[in-house]
Amino acid sequence: MFDATKPETPLPVIFFFDKAEILRDYEAFTVEPITVRMQSGAESPAWSIVAKHRFTSQRGPVAQFDVQLYAEVFCEMAAIVAAHV
């Protein structure tokens, strides 16, 4: 069955870190909608988890998902890990 909430070709899940302990350098995680341009030129919705670097005022992405629910769950998990790592 076709699911209109997901792209036909799923986008990869992207993590912009290589160890969970890196998350302790961040706080104030949020989920923000973005648009990703595919190689074919088509655009697809995605959700970026953006966080504030704990020691500066800079914010930036830490992960990206093609399903909003997955992004929201990861955002909650990242906040918990960041507080306890």
Chain segment 6-44, per-residue pLDDT in tens: 555 666 788 888 888 889 999 999 999 999 888 888 898
Chain segment 48-58, per-residue pLDDT in tens: 999 999 999 99
Do 8 and 36 form a contact (C-beta atoms < 8 A)?
no
Structure tokens of 36? 């990703």
CA distance 52 to 25: 9
DSSP state of 54: T
Read off the pTM.
0.79
Q: How confident is the model at residue 1 (pLDDT cuts 50, 70, 90)?
A: very low
Please give the pLDDT value at position 31.
98
